[in-house]
Structure 1
Amino acid sequence: MSKLNYIFGFHAIVSRLKQNYESIREIYLDEKRQDQRSRELLNHAESRDIRIIRCDSTRLARIAGTLQHQGVAASITSNTREVNLEDILVSLHETALFIVLDGVKDPHNLGACFRVAGALGAHGIIVPKDRSVGITPTVHKVASGAVDFVPFVTVTNLARTLRELKIHGIQIIGTIAETTEYISAVDLTVPSALVFGSEQKGLRRLTREQCDILASIPMVDSNINSLNISVAAGICLYETLKQRVIR
């Protein structure tokens, strides 16, 4: 029998209903919620023969592991679109664009990166297996459904994976604070992987050594020397989108 995982929040569950409803076993809904949003969720679920369990907020908090569950949670059998990197590369028919996260352990940051990746067209998020948070209910909630369609790749050796990306013609762009080469000056119209380190330690030495280019985001105030990783990813992805599409 497949292991059950749990997700919570309306966006995460509605997305799962649209993208992969077969993976949902049960939906738990706050017995006090009778609003339009809840009724629409019920209609979606009932049309797919998914069992609805009405329960109190205490049980929901226990299932979700947080009080911030929005009155809804679901048990699921698959937690993520975790895929093989080679399969993505073989099937790509567009100019490749990846986010690589080196040491991001905060589920809120990973969830936010999923959201910007989905919104701005990244083909996947790559993380090292032993130096990253996995897909948790909080990641699902913050990602607002993006976990269901943005591929998630975990690798055992990040430096080796970056070398493999380069063999496939993908340039590796590391983002750091201590350089005057701005991301806007980098040619992002070619296949690219944008690499972000943790806010505390930045890029590891072995990761930095694999980068073809090191670039930064210009800061107006010298008292601020870093951004939240999802903000930085959003800025770099938007610059890529601007160069490739908006011009």
Structure 2
Amino acid sequence: MNHKEDLIAGRNAVIEALRAKKPIDKIFVLDGCQDGPIRTIVREAKKTDAILKFVDKERLNQLTNEHHQGVVAIVAAYEYGTIEDLFKRAEEKGEDPFFILLDGIEDPHNLGAIIRTANLAGAHGVIIPKHRAVGITPTVAKTSAGAINYTPVVKVTNIGKTMDELKERGMWFACADMDGEVIYRQNLTGSIGLVIGNEGSGVSRLVKEKCDFISSIPMKGDIDSLNASVAAGVLAFEVVRQRLGK
């Protein structure tokens, strides 16, 4: 993401960007710097979704050759949606809410492919965690084949907590897991959230415990798992099939 136009360098510029509520992904601050403007930036940043990173001067110099005064912000090229946006989309279409939640997808190609699948399967949006997962990068946007412009992506601090809030609004959850019941025997109609886990470790234990259905895809091959985005596709289109048959 190290394009010139994605960076804001310098104290005043970063303070202005924060006050203008620009969508900022990350703010790199010179470690140990404690003066007034820097303290203001740190305080303002904590009111936003921006991730604060305290780094050495060398890292800041790598980011930009502009005079950075100990602070560089990376502006999100993408405006994330809100949970309300997703419910509104479902309501406008007269459909039961259908969301796809990603528990730690790290590969931008997988995220892009899942957003593309979500769009084609009629999901009302994709929910991703803020930490330890990929956000919207140029690679994600490209892999989504334009779907990123139509299907909202919401970034949340905690997937488990978000699931609890969605449950209170009547949503059921199914997660993809090899130890589950065969997906084709499950009733996935109604207001549903599909949870897809990390490429290597799958769905985390805490998130799995919050799921109403543990869904497995029957496999006949010699290897033991599907790529995360393919699994998301199989599950999403089973939801589509069941909705059509209702």
Please, what TM-score do these two structures have when normalized by structure 1? Answer: 0.66
Contact 1:102 1:131 in 2 (8 A): no
Q: Distance in 2 between matches of 1:91 and 1:108?
A: 25
Identity over aligned pairs, percent = 44
- 1:79-128 CA distance string (max 9 Å, x none): 33511113422453211111111110110000100111111111111111
One-letter code aligned to 1:235? V
Does structure 1 residue 220 correspond to structure 2 residue 220?
Answer: yes
Contact 1:81 1:147 in 2 (8 A): no
Alignment of 1:19-38 (within 5 A): none
State the 1:157 CA deviation: 1.2
For residue 214 of structure 2, give the secondary structure of its aligned residue in structure 1: strand
Please list every run of 5 or more consecutive structure 2 residues that lacks an aligned counterpart in the other structure.
7-74
Q: Distance in 2 between matches of 1:87 and 1:150?
A: 10
For residue 153 of structure 1, give the secondary structure of its aligned residue in structure 2: strand
Alignment partner, residue 233 of structure 1: 232
Alignment partner, residue 120 of structure 1: 121
Q: Distance in 2 between matches of 1:87 and 1:109?
A: 23
Q: Distance in 2 between matches of 1:78 and 1:136?
A: 9
Alignment partner, residue 79 of structure 1: 77
For residue 189 of structure 2, give the secondary structure of its aligned residue in structure 1: coil
Q: Distance in 2 between matches of 1:131 and 1:246?
A: 38
Q: In structure 2, do the counterparts of structure 1 residues 175 and 191 end up closer, same or farther at CA, with 3 Å as the change threshold?
A: same
State the 1:132 CA deviation: 1.5
One-letter code aligned to 1:209? E
Q: Distance in 2 between matches of 1:78 and 1:103?
A: 19
Q: Distance in 2 between matches of 1:91 and 1:175?
A: 25
Alignment partner, residue 42 of structure 1: none
Does structure 1 residue 88 correspond to structure 2 residue 83?
Answer: no
Q: Distance in 2 between matches of 1:155 and 1:245?
A: 31
State the 1:185 CA deviation: 1.5
Which structure is richer in relative contact order (CA contacts within 8 A, separation 6 or more)? 1
Q: Distance in 1 between matches of 2:245 and 2:105?
A: 30
Alignment partner, residue 59 of structure 2: none
State the 1:246 CA deviation: 5.3
State the 1:78 CA deviation: 6.8
Q: Distance in 1 between matches of 2:106 and 2:199?
A: 10
One-letter code aligned to 1:154? K
Alignment partner, residue 157 of structure 1: 158
Contact 2:109 2:143 in 1 (8 A): yes
Q: Distance in 2 between matches of 1:150 and 1:90?
A: 12
Alignment partner, residue 175 of structure 1: 176
State the 1:198 CA deviation: 1.1
Q: Distance in 1 between matches of 2:137 and 2:212?
A: 32
One-letter code aligned to 1:234? G
Alignment partner, residue 208 of structure 2: 208
- 1:175-209 CA distance string (max 9 Å, x none): 10123x11112212211000011121011111111
- 1:189-245 CA distance string (max 9 Å, x none): 211000011121011111111111111001012x32211111111111111111112
Q: Distance in 2 between matches of 1:137 and 1:108?
A: 10
Provide the aligned length of Structure 1 versus Structure 2: 173
Please, what TM-score do these two structures have when normalized by structure 2? Answer: 0.66
One-letter code aligned to 1:205? R
One-letter code aligned to 1:162? M
For residue 203 of structure 2, give the secondary structure of its aligned residue in structure 1: coil
Q: In structure 2, do the counterparts of structure 1 residues 101 and 95 end up closer, same or farther at CA, with 3 Å as the change threshold?
A: same
